[in-house]
Each structure stands twice: as C-alpha cells, then as structure tokens.
Homo-oligomer: A and B are copies of this chain.
Amino acid sequence: MKAILIVCDGLGDRPIKELGGKTPLEGAKTPNLDRLAREGICGLVHTLGVGLRPGSDTSHLALFGYDPGVYYHGRGPFEAAGIGMDLKPGDVALRGNMGTVDEKLVVLDRRAGRIRDTSPYAKALDGMVIDNIKFEVKPGTGHRVGVVMRGRGLSSRISDPDPHEIGVRVHEARPLDGTRDAKFTAVVLNKFLEESHLILKELKANEQRVKEGSPPGNYLLIRGAGYVAEIPSFEERYGLKAACIAGAGLYKGVARLLGMDVIKVEGATGLPDTNVEAKFRTAVKALKQYDFIFIHVKGADSLGEDGNYKGKKEFIEKIDKAAKTLLGLKDTFIVITADHSTPCALKMHSGDPVPLLINGPGVRVDEVREYGERNCMKGGLGHIRGLDLMPELVNLMGRARLIGA
C-alpha cells in the first residue's frame, strides 16, 4: 500500500455572494476530485484545532502528525532546510534578505534592489566563528539568504534584527526571556551582524553594483529565529519511505527536516502558473521508489490572499484537470486536503476547517458526492484534527502499530 498526500494550500474558503453563495471549491467544476470523493471517504480537518488560525509551517507539521507545541520553535529552520542547508538539533536558524542600509544603519531597501543572486554575499560571510558559535550562510532564491548558528547554549527566544520596514535603523536582537541562552544568542548574533556589515561594505560585488547605480547588498536583514529540536523522522514514525514535491522553499524545508527526499519537478514554481500536472505525474512515477509522496500546491492560497475568488476557482479547476492522472491507481491511497483556509473575504489564513478526501482500497465510502467544504461536513470521517490525519491514513493502509496487546 502506498499513498499520495496532496496539500492544496489555502484551499478552504467561505461562501461568496458572487459565486452564488458557494465557495471557490464548491463553485469550481471538479469532476475528477468529485469522483475521488464519491469513491472515497470525506471529512473536515481543523489542522491546529477548532477555530485556531494556522501558519503554513505549524499546519504542515500537524498534518504530518508532529505536534507543533512540541516540534515548532520558529520558522527559520524550515526556510533554511528548504534552501538545502543541513541542520542539527541545537542549531538556531534564521531567514532573511540582503538589504541596503546607509552609514547610520537606516534601512534604504529591504531587498537591495531585488538583488538576483546572493551567492557572493553568502560566501563572504559563511563559516564565521564568534564566541564558539559557527555561522553558516547560504543563498536562497533571489534576494534571500539563510543563516544557521551552530554551537552550545543557543536559544530562538530573540527578537528580529530585521525592522521589517524602511526608513528606520536596523534593530539589535534582544533576548525575549530571562534565560542565559537567549541573552548569549542575542549578543553573538549582534556581533555577527556588525562584523558582516564591515565585510559586506567592502565586498567586490557591491563595488560593481554601486558603479551601476544599484543599491548595494550591505546588510543582512534577518528574522524568524527558530530552534532546531530533536525530531523523529517520518520514516521512523510511520515506516513509510517518503518524498516531497513542492515549488516553494518552506514546504521542502518541512519535508527535509522530517527526513523526506525532495524531488525536483520542472515547472513547479510555487506560483499559480505552476505545472500541477507535472507534479502529479512525477508523484505517480515516484511511487515505485517511495511509499508516501507529499505534494504541495501553493496557488489557491496566494489567490485567496489577493481576494481573487475567480482566479482561485480557476486554479482549483487546474488542480482538478491534473487530478485525472491520479484516477485508477492500484494499491494507492489518494489524500486531498489543505493546510488551512484562506477565505477571499478575509485575504488571510483563517481557522475554518478544510475539506478532506481519502480515496483508496477498502475505505468506508460515504454519501459525499462532490468535493467541497459543506459536502465534506457530512463525510464519514467527521471533524478531525490535523494530528489525526496520519494515524487515520496509516490505519487505512493497514500499517498502524498495535497499542496494547
């Protein structure tokens, strides 16, 4: 038995007047998803709990069965892992941009003119050691970078040095609690940022930019410090050899931190123009090597955040077309759900539960005929939490561990 889990980011929504009181998913023509629902079992998922409004990182941890209360200590590690950085328990990771500051350290441009490649900048800073803490710096996409701090006595309980706006001076990291580790981490990080600024100011690559009239990348604007906890791998936990197919870094990062392989797919962009069908086709092929494929599809979330209900509905129809690839697979469970709702009316994540369908051999097929928020309400799985999804799936696959004797 194998499984494909498709997380359609931000899929859930609320009734929209212009769609005749339907949600984008309810309004979309989705014959393939409907068929999967009709021949499967459905329900609603409260990823973090009833009414709780999930971030993208916490909701994915919950869907994979990892309690965010235990395993989530800030976003940094997931972003760093997403750009291929290797992390160890005890590390503190941050994400950030190459930015531009003036002589008084006032932020002029948070992205240094949307600098295209931060490799030379990252390389100039990578490997610095301060007070026995080693700093790893790697380029992300575009103007982005990842920073990993490694050594003893680190904490993620520090404030963001990135002021998140222009026209103000960069911040110093401050400890957010009274522990020695938080104070130490803030002190070391501030020394690193100061030292980095001196190095970046003199960097060759910046000389060139200034000549061209582009803002130099002379300051690391970093945020989202996260502590890397001991985390059992997905395979250890469920006995499933797993891989991830995603466009955006964060989701690859979550998958990598759980020990999943990441499969690269041509045309998977993390944007509404992404090639959903290529992702699904790649997943089906990868089932030969893996037991479990996690596919992340971002588009519906971005369109929800724009309030673009028409675009969201059309993107869902694009997912549906691609889902044809998933019909008729043997000995395979297809799970389609979301990490959270992104109602077009709110233009942000919400705590409204998300639809869930599980299609696969032997499930108790229920009366849900179409895949949608209010149809799934009546499904046989009822209302579950995100943390319940993997146990439910592993059980349906006949691979659950016996509790007791």
Contact with B along A380-399 (1 / 0, CB 8 A): 10111100101111111010
Report the minimum CB–CB distance from A38 to chain B (whole Å): 13
Query: Which of B365, B373, B392, B404 contacts A59, CB < 8 Å?
Result: B404
Q: Does A21 count as interface, using CB distance less than 8 angstroms?
A: yes
A363 → B minimal CB distance (Å): 7
**B374:A380 contact, CB within 8 angstroms:** yes
A404 touching B58, Cβ below 8 Å: yes
A-side interface residues, number (CB < 8 Å): 59
Q: Contact: A351 with B395, CB < 8 Å?
A: yes
Within the complex, what minimum Cβ distance (angstroms) separates A337 from chain B? 14
**A118 interface hit (Cβ, 8 Å):** no
Q: Are A400 and B365 in contact (CB under 8 A)?
A: no
Binds B, one of A47-55, A126-134, A266-274: A47-55
A34 CA to B377 CA in the complex, in Å?
Answer: 21
Give A199-225 as 1s and 0s: 1 = Cβ < 8 Å from B's Cβ atoms.
000000000000000000000000010
Question: Smallest distance from the beta carbon of A354 to chain B beta carbons, Å?
Answer: 12
Nearest-neighbor residue (CB-CB) of A61 within chain B: B404
In the docked arrangement, what's the CA distance between A391 and B349, Å?
14
Is A277 close to B, CB under 8 A?
no
Distance, CA A349 to CA B402, complexed state (A): 8
A2: CB under 8 A from chain B?
no
B68 x A350 contact (CB < 8 A): no
Chain B contacts of A382 at CB under 8 A?
44, 377, 382-383
- In the complex, chain A residues 173-199 whose Cβ is within 8 Å of any chain B Cβ: none
